[in-house]
Structures are given as C-alpha cells and as structure tokens.
Amino acid sequence: MKTLIKQTLTASILSTMMAGVAMAAPAEAPNVFVKRIADSLISRLKTDHAKLQNNPAAVTAIVQQILEPNVDAQAFTRIVMGTYASAQNSTAQQRATFERNLRQSLIQNYGTALAKYSNQNYSLRPYKQTGSAFPVVTIDFNSQGQKTPISFQLTDAGSQWKVRNINVAGIDLGLQFRNQFADTVKRNGGNLDKAIASFKPNADNAAKK
C-alpha cells in the first residue's frame, strides 16, 4: 500500500513538473530576443568581414549557426505549404521533406543576401506589447541613407521565442513563398512530390512584389 502511494505521489509530482516545463514562458521580452539575434549576427559579419568576401559558403554557415536554431521551421512550413500542409493533402514524409528543403533554401537565400553586407547598421523600433499570440518586432536596416524595415513575427516555443514569419518592407515572405509554392505545384501538374523537390523560394522576387 505504501509503495502504491509513493508511486502515485511520484507520478503526480513528475507530471506537475512536466506541465510546468511545457507552460514555461520565454524569459526574454520579444524585442530583447530579436535584438540579441540581430546583434550576434551583425557582430559576426563585421568581425569576419574580410574573411567572408567571395566566400558565400562561410556566410551561409554563419547564418545557419545563428538563425536556424531561432526559427520555428515547422510553423513557417505550414504557412508556406498553405492548404498542402494538412494531413488530408500531404503525407508526414512530404511535409518533413518540404521543411528540410525550405530550411536549406532559406539559409542559402539569406546567406547570399548577407554576403553583400557592407557594415550597414540598424535601429530597433519601440516595441509595444499588444497581447498578440504572435508578437511582432521591427528593425530598420540602414544602408546608404535608405531604411529597409524588417518585421519578425514570433511564436512562443515554450522556453524561448522563435521566428515564425518575416515581413520585408511590407512584403509578407511567408505569404509570397506560399504563392510561389502554389505556382510550383501547378507547373508540376499537381504532383506534390515533384513540386516539393523543385521548389526554391525566391526572396528577391518576393521583395519586388
């Protein structure tokens, strides 16, 4: 009887601890999180600026190291796949393959863009807490007197914030990539496997919309 009580009590304590972990909120404010990531990335690019010239692979490695752990790839995949992200329209394997390919393409996209980095600076806009489940933090990147606003839409991953979508100068990249993927599916006659294998999100084209 005592053993049963101990087991029950232990199970109760463990389940309570696990629930507490699952419900743990990020320790950082959304704007602090974004600033930390931006500072880390820009600092690294400035420090290694000479080494990174004509070395896109090195830039891509830095982007992957700093950004990838802070992006909610599954959430971004759902946004870009759109209706194809549902279990009725795709298999778990197709969604996993799409997520892997999308992550690699995005890292290459941003690596290529940042390879042109020439010591631009940025300013963080004042952050206002709105109570939204997906808070947005905006940064203005300054280059040759021009400002390019980039807004990061975040999601609470339990113990930290993660980026779930990005808006560049008013262009919702998740939505634009979704349109690009839908076009890719059409070009492949509705064959989802072929569309997933050939899909390459183009941030430059999206930004020109």
Answer whether residue 14 shows pLDDT above 50.
Answer: no
Q: Does residue 137 carry a pLDDT above 60?
A: yes
* Rounded Cα distance, 201 and 178, in Å: 9
Most confident of 137-146, 180-189, 198-207: 180-189
Q: Which amino acid is at 178?
A: R
CA–CA distance, 133 with 182 (Å, rounded to integer): 27
- Give the pLDDT of residue 105: 85
By C-alpha distance, which of 55, 61, 31 is closest to 122?
Answer: 31
- Which pLDDT score is estimated for 195? 97
| pLDDT, mean of residues 123-132 | 90
Instruction: Write down the pLDDT at residue 190.
Output: 96
Structural tokens at position 189 = 């006659």
- Side-chain half-sphere of 4: how many Cα atoms within 13 Å? 1
Q: What is the mean pLDDT of residues 55-81?
A: 90
pLDDT band for position 4 (cuts 50, 70, 90): very low
pLDDT of residue 16: 33
| Complete domains list, the chain, with CATH | 27-207 (3.10.450.710)
* Of 13-22, 56-65, 108-117, the least confident: 13-22
